[in-house]
Structure 1
Amino acid sequence: MKKIWFSVIALALMLSACSGNENKANESSPNSEGKSSAEGKNESGSKSPDSGNKSIKVLLSHAEAEYAKTVKADDPYIKELNRLSGYNLSFDFLGHSDYDQQLSLRFASGDLADLVRTPSIDSTIHKDAVEQGIFKELGPLIDQYGPNLKKRIPETAWNSPRVQKDGKIYGIPVLVGTANDRIGLIRQDWLDKLGLKQPETIDDWLNYFEQVKVQDVNGNGDPNDEYGYTMFEGVGWSSMFFGTFGVDPGTWHLQDGKLVPDMISPKMKEAIAFYKMLYEKGYVNRDLFTKKEADFRADIYNGKSGSFAAAVYQYTPDFSAANAPKKFVNEPDKVKISMIAPPAGPRGERGLGAVSDGIYFVWVIPESVKNPEEIIKYLDWAWSAPEADKFFAYGIEGSNYTETGGEIKYDVSAPVNADKNAFQMFQLSINPREIGFNNDLVLKTLPESEKIIAGYKLSADIAFPHDSLYMPPLVTFQNNPEISTWGTMFVEMFSKIMTGNQPIDAFDKFVADWHKRGGDKAIEEATQWYDSFHK
C-alpha cells in the first residue's frame, strides 16, 4: 500500500503544479491509440446514449501515468469503457513534458481529434482560437444534451475564462477533484502528553508552541531540539498563518475601487510581525529560508516538528495510523497526527489555500467535428451514470474490484491495480471528469476514510477567499517578475524582517519601492481586468 500511495502522491503533486498553467510535457513520443467498440445496453441495463456517429477520438496527455504511456490498442480498460458507455472511444496519448509543443503542431496542421485536452480556451498554444472560430460553441449543446454537466460541475468552474468567453461556453472543465487540499497537521500525541486540547485561537497555538519549546516532548532527552512549527524554503507552501490576518501573498482584494495585491496590504505587515515573533521566540526553525523540503520532511519524521502545513492527500501515505510508525522510526509506538485548521485572527479571519476555479484542464471540440452532440452525450453519461461512477473509481468489476450485496471491495495495492499503477488508467488517464484519486468513492475505501473525508471538508471550509479568482497572468509581472506575488522583492523583505536583519518598518519601504518599480501599473492592469470581468 505504501509504495502505491507514494505513486499517487508523486503524481498528485505533479498534477497540482500543472493545473491552471500551460502543460509541461514529455520527451517520449505519442503512443499507439487504444481503440475498441461496443454497442447495445450498458451495465446497468439502461439504454446507452443513442443515435448518430458514436466514434469519438480523444487527444490528450498521458500525464506521466505509467500505464497510459504504454497502453495497447486492445487495452481492457478502454474496451470496458466502450462497453459501458456504448461509444467507440479511441485515445491518442501525447507526451506530457512537451505536450504544449506537440499540441501546437497539431493545431497548426489541423491534425486534431473530436475531443481535445487544453489548459484553457485562451491558451497561447492556440492563440485566438475562439476568435478564429476553431472551437465549437458548446452552450446550446450542453443545454440540450448535457444537463448533468451543469448539475455536477460547479459554477465556479463554468464561470472561469478558461471555459467561457463573452458569456459563451467553448470548453468543458475537467476538475482537480477537491475544492482545496491545504491543511494544518499537528502532533496530537504531543498535545495529549502536554494535557492540551487542539488549539483554536492564536493564544492556544502560542501556548502549544511554548510548551513544545521548553519540554522534551519527543522524549529523546534533549528539550531544545523540537519546534512548535516548522517551515522550509518553499515558504508559500509551508506557511500557515497569513490567512489568520486576512491576507495571502498570492492573492488580491478590492480596495477603494482598485484591485490591490495582499502582499502590500497593511494586514500583511501584521502577518509578517507575527512570523517575526515566532522566529524571535524560537517557535519556528531558524533555518527555514534555506531548509530543503527533504530536510524539512526528515525533521518531521525525526520528531522535531510539532505542526506544519501540508495537503490532505499526504495524510494516508505519511501520517495515518498505519503508515506513521514506519516513518517516525524513533517514535513508532507514540505518533498520532491530526488534521487541523489555522486559527482565526484579530478580525475573525482565517484561511489556508486560496479559492480557485478547481479546473485541472479543459476539453474543447473543434468546429469541424461532425457529431458534437454525441460527445456531449458521452460526457453527460460519464458524469451521471452509476456504472460510470464505479468504473472511474474502481475499474473493472471482477478484476479490479468485487461487489457483493452492495459492498465494494477495492484494494489499490492489489497486483491488478498496482502493476504499472494501472489504477491511474481508470481514475485519471481515461477519466473525462476529474483527477479521480480524491473522489469520495475512492476515499471511502481507504483506512481512516472518515477522517480523510472530514479533512477535505475542513480544507474546503478554510479555503481563503479573494477577489483575484480567474485573473490571468499580468503582463506587468511578466515584464517585471521581481515585483510579482511571491517575487524576489517580497521574499527578500519577508525573510530579512522575520529573521531580524531588518525592522518591521522595512515593510513600508518595500511597499513604496514596489509601487515605484511597476506596482502602480500592475494595480492598474489588474483593476482594468476586474472591472471588465465583473461588469
Structure 2
Amino acid sequence: MRKRMGTWAGPAGIVILAGVMLSACSGGGDGKEGAAAGQSDKPKGPSTVTVLMSKATNFPEDNLVIQEIRKRTGINVQVIAVDAPDYENKLNTMIASSSPPDIFRSASKAKIKELADNKAILPLDDLLAKNGKNIMDNKGKYLKGAGFIDGKNYAIPTAYVLGNGLAFRQDWLDKLGLKVPTTLDEYDNVLRAFANRDPDGNGKKDTIPLGLMIAADQTFDHLFAAYGVPMKTGVLVDGKVVPWMLAPGYLDAVKHLNMMYNEGLIEPDFATVPNMQEFEKLWNGKMGAFQFNPPGTTQNWLTRYIENPKPTFVYTVIKGPTGIGGNTRFVREDKGPWTHISSKAKDPDAAMKVLDFLNSEEGDRLTWAGVEGQQYTMKDGKFEWIKPFDDAVQLRNVGGFAYNGISQRLDGMEFQLMNEQTRKGIEMSVNSPIPDAYIFGVPEIERDKKKVLDDLEVEFRTTAIVSKGGNLDKMYDDFKKKYLAEGGTAWIEQATAIYKKEQADFKK
C-alpha cells in the first residue's frame, strides 16, 4: 500500500521557518512574480524542474522510468528522493537555505496555511487553467479543500482513498451456518459464535472474533458509525460543531465496546498491540473480522495468509439502533498529502506540466508499471507482467512504482488492477458515509492543544472499554469536563466559526 509523507516540524520549528520563508521567498503569492522570474531566468533548452519526494525503498537514481518522464514531458526532471523519516528535515533545510525544490508535498492542513501565509507556495489556479488539463479532468472537483485559501488553490490533494472496509471471514460464517451480519444484534451474535464455536477447528477456544488497535483508529470506525459518530470528525449539535467524542452516541458506542471486551469478543490487547502483530493474527488464521483498507485485506495480503486453502472474506456495513451505519465520510478534497509548487520555482509552467503528466493516464501507467512492452503487456485489455518485472525489486530497479508518490491519478492503473472483491470493498466503504460537520480549516486551539485533547480521548476510551463494573456515565462526565476545560470549549467555538464561513464560501 502507499506510503505517506512525513509531517512538518512542530510549532516551534514552524515559527522559525516562517521568518525564513518571509525573507527568502520573493513574489507576492499571486503567481505572477514567480512566473515573471521564470520568463527572464529560463535557460535555453529544456527547463529543469526539481522535485523532492519520499521513498519507502531504494531504487537507482538513473533509471528507465525517469528517463521516459523527461523524454515524454520535454522537461529535465530532477528528483531528490529521501527516506520518508528524513523528508521533513530535508525540505525544511532546503527552504531555509533559499533553495526549495520546485515541487514538494506537505502532510498537514495547518502547514498548507503556513506556507500560503508566508508566500512560500504559488496559487495554482492560472497554472492549472493553462497546463493542468489532466489534473482538472481527474481531480478538479476536489480542489476546494484544505488548499483552497481566500479564494485561491494552493495545493493539489492526493484525493486518493483506499477505503476502510469491515471484512468477516466468509469461510467461518459458512462453517458455522451464519449469515453476513448487517445489524448490531447480528454482529454481536456472529462474534460470539467466532469466540465460542471453534471456527478454526483446532479444538481450542483461542480465536479473536474482532481485531482492534488503538494504534489504528480505523479499526473502530464501523462500531462508532453504527451509533452515528464519525471518528475524528465534528458533528452539528444545536447549530454548533462539536468534536466526535462529545457527539450523541459516543458513550453508547464505548459501552458497547466495554461489553464486547468483557465477553472476549475483541482483541484483548487492543490498547498496546502493534499494528504488525495484529496483522499477523489475521494472516495466521486467528481472527474472524477486521476493519482495514481492502487493498490490504483482500489484495496485497493474499500471499501473507498461511492457511491452505486461503481464507475468504466478505465486506459488510453494520447499522445501529437508528438505522445508521457505514463509515466516517471520505473527503477527497481534504485527502493529503498535498502537492505544491514553490514560489521560487524558475519555471512554474514547466512544473505544472510535470504534475499534469503524472496525473495523466499515460503518466500513471508509466510510473506504476514501467514501459508497456518492456515491463508489462496489455493483451485484449488484460494486464500481464513481463518477467522478471513481476518481482517488485526488479520493477523498482527500472523505476516502476517509484515516482507515483509525487502526484498520482485517481482510479488509475493500481485501482483498475485490483480484484473485484477489493474494488467492491472500497466502493462500499466510500459510498456508506454517515452525517458529519466536516471542516477544512484548523481551529487555532489545535496548534497547541491537539495532542493533549486527542490523548484525553484515547485515555478515556481505553479505560472505559476495559472497565469491569465501573460507572461509565460518571467517567464520561468527568472526561467531558476535563476535555472542555483543556481547550474543548475553544475548539467548539472556533470550529463552528470555520464551518459557517466555509459553508458560505463554498456556496459562492
Same fold (TM over 0.5): yes
Residue correspondences, number: 468
Distance 2:231 2:293 in 1: 18
SS of residue matched to 2:472? coil
Residues 387-398 of structure 1 correspond to what in structure 2 (within 5 A)?
387-398=362-373
Aligned to 1:140: 126
Aligned to 1:456: 426
**Alignment check: 8 A CA contact 2:65 2:367 kept:** no
Query: Quick check: 1:166 aligned with 2:166?
Result: no
**Alignment check: 8 A CA contact 1:212 1:226 kept:** yes
TM superposition shift of 1:95: 4.4
SS of residue matched to 1:284? coil
SS of residue matched to 1:508? helix
Aligned to 1:40: none
TM superposition shift of 1:244: 0.6
Distance 2:300 2:79 in 1: 34
Distance 2:188 2:239 in 1: 37
Distance 2:439 2:189 in 1: 36
1:165-197 Cα deviation digits (max 9, x unpaired): 101122333x1632x421112111111011222
Aligned to 1:350: 325
Give the 3 Å change call, closer, same or farther, for CA 495–370 of structure 1 in structure 2.
same
Query: 2:212 pairs with 219, 231, 252, which one?
Result: 231
TM superposition shift of 1:460: 1.3
SS of residue matched to 2:212? coil
TM superposition shift of 1:295: 4.1
Query: 1:116 pairs with 97, 104, 108, which one?
Result: 104
Give the 3 Å change call, closer, same or farther, for CA 94–205 of structure 1 in structure 2.
closer
Aligned to 2:176: 194
Aligned to 1:62: 54
Give the 3 Å change call, closer, same or farther, for CA 122–480 of structure 1 in structure 2.
closer
SS of residue matched to 1:92? strand
**Alignment check: 8 A CA contact 2:460 2:476 kept:** no
Query: 2:388 pairs with 405, 414, 420, which one?
Result: 414
Residues 21-100 of structure 1 correspond to what in structure 2 (within 5 A)?
21-22=7-8, 54-67=46-59, 70-72=60-62, 75-100=63-88
Q: Which amino acid aligns with 1:376?
A: M
**Alignment check: 8 A CA contact 1:84 1:387 kept:** no
TM superposition shift of 1:480: 6.8
SS of residue matched to 1:66? coil
Q: Flag the structure with more relative contact order, 1 or 2, with Cα contacts below 8 A and sequence separation at least 6.
A: 2
Distance 1:426 1:23 in 2: 30
**Alignment check: 8 A CA contact 2:228 2:435 kept:** no
SS of residue matched to 1:58? strand
Distance 1:102 1:294 in 2: 28
Distance 1:407 1:489 in 2: 48
**Alignment check: 8 A CA contact 1:137 1:170 kept:** yes
1:74-114 Cα deviation digits (max 9, x unpaired): x2211112222333322233443232222222222221343
Aligned to 1:252: 234
Aligned to 1:526: 495
Give the 3 Å change call, closer, same or farther, for CA 241–80 of structure 1 in structure 2.
same
TM superposition shift of 1:524: 2.0
Query: Quick check: 1:104 aligned with 2:101?
Result: no
**Alignment check: 8 A CA contact 1:276 1:497 kept:** yes
**Alignment check: 8 A CA contact 2:195 2:208 kept:** yes
**Alignment check: 8 A CA contact 2:51 2:101 kept:** yes
Distance 1:177 1:302 in 2: 30
Aligned to 2:31: none
Aligned to 2:32: none
**Alignment check: 8 A CA contact 1:176 1:359 kept:** yes
Query: 1:441 pairs with 413, 425, 437, which one?
Result: 413
Residues 239-388 of structure 1 correspond to what in structure 2 (within 5 A)?
239=220, 240-316=222-298, 320=302, 323=303, 326-328=305-307, 332-333=308-309, 335-356=310-331, 357=333, 359-384=335-360, 386-388=361-363
Q: Which runs of 5+ in 2 are unaligned?
A: 11-43
SS of residue matched to 1:283? coil
TM superposition shift of 1:71: 1.0
TM superposition shift of 1:453: 1.6
Q: What is the CA RMSD across the aligned residues, in angstroms?
A: 3.2
**Alignment check: 8 A CA contact 1:342 1:350 kept:** yes
Give the 3 Å change call, closer, same or farther, for CA 233–404 of structure 1 in structure 2.
closer
Distance 1:294 1:120 in 2: 25
Distance 1:269 1:338 in 2: 30
Distance 1:168 1:140 in 2: 10
Distance 2:457 2:339 in 1: 37
Q: Which amino acid aligns with 1:159?
A: K
Give the 3 Å change call, closer, same or farther, for CA 133–82 of structure 1 in structure 2.
same
TM superposition shift of 1:273: 1.8
Distance 2:358 2:276 in 1: 39
**Alignment check: 8 A CA contact 2:53 2:105 kept:** yes
TM superposition shift of 1:392: 2.7
Q: Which amino acid aligns with 1:312?
A: P
1:444-497 Cα deviation digits (max 9, x unpaired): 445xx1112222212212355532342426535734733x23x23543354335
Q: Which amino acid aligns with 1:140?
A: D
Q: Which amino acid aligns with 1:152?
A: N
1:189-245 Cα deviation digits (max 9, x unpaired): 1110112221112222122123223322211112x3234323244362432411110
Give the 3 Å change call, closer, same or farther, for CA 299–109 of structure 1 in structure 2.
closer
**Alignment check: 8 A CA contact 2:233 2:438 kept:** yes
Give the 3 Å change call, closer, same or farther, for CA 217–479 of structure 1 in structure 2.
closer
Give the 3 Å change call, closer, same or farther, for CA 253–319 of structure 1 in structure 2.
same
Query: Quick check: 1:466 aligned with 2:436?
Result: yes
Distance 2:447 2:352 in 1: 38
SS of residue matched to 2:226? helix
Distance 1:522 1:452 in 2: 38
TM superposition shift of 1:298: 4.1
Distance 2:316 2:159 in 1: 21
Distance 1:96 1:410 in 2: 28
Give the 3 Å change call, closer, same or farther, for CA 254–170 of structure 1 in structure 2.
same
Distance 1:172 1:292 in 2: 32
Aligned to 2:13: none
Give the 3 Å change call, closer, same or farther, for CA 228–429 of structure 1 in structure 2.
same
Q: Which amino acid aligns with 1:107?
A: I
TM superposition shift of 1:60: 0.8
The 10-residue stretch of structure 1 (186-195 or 390-399) with the greater mean CA deviation from structure 2: 390-399
